[in-house]
């Protein structure tokens, strides 16, 4: 979950855009009410997608009220409420994912990230326990996948399929819950989540190539030979290769995602979800691609 | 977490349909909506969470878990992964530990090794398709991996591609499907699958309503200009004139 799943705003209708913002705001409020102020600072767009999809799939009735929040102290914003516990599930998923991400950062990222993680983990521990007790299946799956992620990184797996597996498995676990108690639906949403997780992983890997190369870190898109070059910057030839590899894999993934998506009834949220699935994902990837080709260490995910 | 097979009350070697029906029975029994009493509903809710977790875990193991850390050619490492994973989960029953899920592939291995030691030039393609349709990806893959490298024909590559596709490993799927069409270009099944993947690779997404009727915000591309010119030429010729004299 890194903020790669978002709509392509130029094609959103005005009411869809308002709805999307209201979902994000509602999720933030739910997060604040259930888990306190701190997690709201780390809320990503991907979770808003999860919340919107669940509201649509479960045909929950929504209402919006105007609230003031610390981020927009002057004007009031529309904030969504829903009849079911969709927002609560997304908020809990956010806590579980962020906690494990922080633990991962502590294990192997640069010094800046380590300090940040070390400072935040104690704050998240109690919240994580609470979320994990509500959704033990999710917490268990995420923990297992993070363990596999570390194995993958240690082994420096070359296959993009294998490298993407843990992230995809996490998203599989996150989206399965949308299927409720129907085994076939659980499989359907799980597969949808799997494809989305693959997409997120590939985007993240491509977004990171220049930084990973500079730090001599592992990245499945950088071939071994590239590290033999003494230049501090990844050469253009390797950047093009990495982009081609990522694009191939990503387009196949999105094709398969669409195959699954046509079987999902997103209810009232359909126009918004359609926009994200068919336009937003590709648009985000093309931004990631241009950043990666640029060769600078700047990354798409830091752009807001 | 307890042994997920025990939670659902099925044998570790149960088929997917058996697991699904066991799961459905338990859902019917424990669905929180059936209980009006709040204490009972809460208890049922807890039980439901446990059942869902067990079901998800079994499905995950069957889809990927066992194969995850293994190298493409051999699965000797999967044992190590499994034992460490399940020691962590703390199940010490006789069917727990490194035993329960690994034992299942173990049986497959024994069966198939037995078969293929005798005739490892061919394999049961029908069985592979059957297992893949039932969702037992690991079962199907273990048959395929038992085939020696020399006797991997076009069909083997196609099925391997299909299994990889089901797994969600599209790079592998593409590689094997391409190889299958290359080895047997006349086969329509293989080439249809390959064509579909190529279409997806070029950005096709099923059900995408945005490309055809949405207004274009990007400028006109050379393709549009050419087709426009062609159409204009046709119109002119129909009226007796000619816009492009050479055609």
pLDDT > 90: what percent of chain B? 17
The better pLDDT of the pair B46, B74 is held by B46
Cα A278–chain centre separation: 17
Tokens representing B206 are: 């099923």
pLDDT over threshold 50, residue A160:
yes
The better pLDDT of the pair B29, B199 is held by B199
What is the largest distance, in Å, between two alpha-carbon atoms of chain B? 90
For B52, the closest of A11, A137, A147 (CB atoms) is: A137
The better pLDDT of the pair A204, B79 is held by A204
Nearest to A250 by CA among A283, A211, A294, A296: A283
Q: Which chain B positions have a beta carbon within 8 Å of A172's beta carbon? A: 60
Phi, psi of A62 (to 5 degrees): -120, 155
A253 contacts B173? CB cut-off 8 A? no
**Residues B97 and B83: beta-carbon distance below 8 Å:** yes
pLDDT > 70: what percent of chain B? 66
Between the alpha carbon of residue A102 and those of residues A34, A97, A205, A303, B222, the distances in Å are: 20, 9, 18, 21, 49
Write out the DSSP string of B56-108.
Answer: HHHHHIIIIITTTTS-SS--TTHHHHHHHHHHHTT--STTTTTTHHHHHHHHH
Phi, psi of A299 (to 5 degrees): -125, 155
Going by C-beta distance under 8 Å and a sequence separation of 6 or more, which residues neighbour residue B160? Answer: B141, B144, B152, B172, B176
Nearest to A219 by CA among A237, A245, A253: A245
Tokens representing A29 are: 């409020």
B24 contacts A255? CB cut-off 8 A? no
Residue ranges covered by each domain of chain A? 9-302
Q: Tell whether B169 is within 8 A of chain A (Cβ).
A: yes
The residues that bridge with A81 in the sheet, in sequence order, are A63
Q: Which of residues 185-224 of B touch A (CB under 8 A)?
A: 197, 199-210, 214, 217
A9-302 has CATH 3.40.50.1400 classification: no
Q: How far apart are CA A167 and CA A144, in angstroms?
A: 11
Q: What is the mean pLDDT of residues B108-127?
A: 55
The better pLDDT of the pair B221, B50 is held by B50
Q: What pLDDT does residue B214 have? A: 47
pLDDT over threshold 70, residue B89:
no
Q: How far apart are CA B27 and CA A183, in angstroms?
A: 10
pLDDT tens digit string along A126-141?
999 999 998 988 998 8
For B55, the closest of A136, A160, A183 (CB atoms) is: A183
For B168, the closest of A176, A177, A195 (CB atoms) is: A195
Q: How far apart are CA B117 and CA A212, in angstroms?
A: 46
Across A161-187, b (16+ Cβ under 10 Å) vs e yields bbbbbbbbbbbbbbbbbbbebebebbb
**Residues A106 and A118: beta-carbon distance below 8 Å:** yes
Q: How far apart are CA A39 and CA A99, in angstroms?
A: 10
Q: What pLDDT does residue A95 have? A: 95
A191 contacts B208? CB cut-off 8 A? no
pLDDT over threshold 50, residue A294:
yes
**Residues A220 and A205: beta-carbon distance below 8 Å:** yes
How many C-beta atoms lie closer than 10 Å to residue A218's C-beta? 17
Going by C-beta distance under 8 Å and a sequence separation of 6 or more, which residues neighbour residue A240? Answer: A293
Phi, psi of A3 (to 5 degrees): 90, 25
Q: Tell whether B34 is within 8 A of chain A (Cβ).
A: no
A169 contacts B60? CB cut-off 8 A? yes
**Residues A221 and A206: beta-carbon distance below 8 Å:** yes
Q: Which chain A positions have a beta carbon within 8 Å of B23's beta carbon? A: 183
A252 contacts B171? CB cut-off 8 A? yes
**Residues B75 and B145: beta-carbon distance below 8 Å:** yes
For B171, the closest of A135, A159, A186 (CB atoms) is: A159
Q: What pLDDT does residue B73 have? A: 37
* Mutation choice for B interface testing from A84, A92, A137 by most B CBs within 10 A: A137
Nearest to B209 by CA among A270, A98, A223, A53: A270
Q: What pLDDT does residue B92 have? A: 33
Q: What is the mean pLDDT of residues A76-105?
A: 91
Q: Which chain A positions have a beta carbon within 8 Å of B7's beta carbon? A: none
pLDDT tens digit string along A276-291?
999 999 999 999 999 9
Chain A residue closest in CA terms to B30: A181
The better pLDDT of the pair B200, B64 is held by B200
Q: Mind telling me how many Å the CA of A254 is from chain B's nearest CA?
A: 7
B173 contacts A176? CB cut-off 8 A? no
Cα B117–chain centre separation: 28
Q: Tell whether B244 is within 8 A of chain A (Cβ).
A: no
Q: Mind telling me how many Å the CA of B117 is from chain A's nearest CA?
A: 30
Q: What pLDDT does residue B185 have? A: 93
Tokens representing B180 are: 């299958």
Nearest to B28 by CA among B38, B17, B20: B20
């Amino acid at each position: 979950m890194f903020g790669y799943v978002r709509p392509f705003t130029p094609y959103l209708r005005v009411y869809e855009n308002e709805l999307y913002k209201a979902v994000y705001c509602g999720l933030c409020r739910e997060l604040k009410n259930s888990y306190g102020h701190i997690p709201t600072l780390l809320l990503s767009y991907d979770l808003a997608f999860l919340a919107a999809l669940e509201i649509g799939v479960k045909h929950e009735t929504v209402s919006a009220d105007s609230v003031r929040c610390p981020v927009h102290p002057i004007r009031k914003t529309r904030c969504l409420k829903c009849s079911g516990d969709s927002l609560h599930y997304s908020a809990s998923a956010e806590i579980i994912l962020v906690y494990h991400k922080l633990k991962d950062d502590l294990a192997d990222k640069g010094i800046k990230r380590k300090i940040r993680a070390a400072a935040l983990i104690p704050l998240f521990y109690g919240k994580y326990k609470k979320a994990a007790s509500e959704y033990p299946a999710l917490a268990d799956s995420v923990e297992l996948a993070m363990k596999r992620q570390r194995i993958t990184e240690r082994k420096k797996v070359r296959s993009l399929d294998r490298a993407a597996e843990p992230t995809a498995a996490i998203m599989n676990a996150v989206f399965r819950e949308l299927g409720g108690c129907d085994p076939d639906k659980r499989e359907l949403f799980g597969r949808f989540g799997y494809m989305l997780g693959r997409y997120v992983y590939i985007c993240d890997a491509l977004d990171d190539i220049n930084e990973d190369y500079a730090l001599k870190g592992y990245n499945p898109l950088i071939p071994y030979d590239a590290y033999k070059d003494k230049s501090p910057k990844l050469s253009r030839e390797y950047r093009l290769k990495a982009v081609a590899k990522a694009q191939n894999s990503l387009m196949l993934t999105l094709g398969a995602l669409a195959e699954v998506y046509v079987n999902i009834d997103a209810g009232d949220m359909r126009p918004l979800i359609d926009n994200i699935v068919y336009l937003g994902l590709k648009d985000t990837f093309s931004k990631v691609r241009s950043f990666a080709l640029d060769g600078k260490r700047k990354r798409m995910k830091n752009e807001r | 977490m307890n042994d997920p097979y025990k939670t659902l009350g099925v044998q570790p070697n149960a088929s997917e349909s058996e697991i699904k029906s066991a799961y459905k029975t338990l859902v019917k029994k424990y669905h929180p909506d059936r209980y009006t009493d709040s204490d009972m509903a809460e208890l049922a809710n807890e039980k439901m969470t446990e059942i869902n977790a067990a079901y998800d875990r079994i499905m995950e193991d069957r889809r990927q878990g066992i194969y995850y850390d293994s190298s493409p050619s051999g699965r000797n490492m999967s044992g190590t992964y499994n034992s460490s994973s399940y020691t962590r989960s703390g199940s010490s029953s006789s069917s727990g530990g490194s035993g329960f899920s690994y034992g299942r592939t173990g049986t497959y291995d024994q069966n198939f090794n037995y078969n293929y030691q005798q005739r490892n030039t061919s394999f049961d393609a029908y069985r592979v398709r059957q297992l893949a349709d039932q969702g037992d990806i690991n079962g199907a893959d273990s048959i395929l991996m038992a085939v020696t490298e020399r006797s991997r024909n076009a069909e083997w590559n196609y099925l391997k591609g299909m299994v990889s596709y089901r797994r969600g490993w599209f790079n592998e799927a593409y590689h094997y499907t391409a190889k299958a069409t290359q080895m047997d270009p006349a086969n329509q099944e293989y080439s249809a699958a390959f064509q579909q993947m190529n279409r997806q690779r070029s950005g096709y997404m099923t059900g995408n309503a945005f490309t055809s009727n949405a207004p274009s915000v990007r400028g006109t591309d050379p393709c549009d200009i050419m087709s426009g010119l062609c159409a204009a030429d046709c119109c002119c010729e129909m009226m007796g004139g000619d816009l492009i004299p050479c055609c």
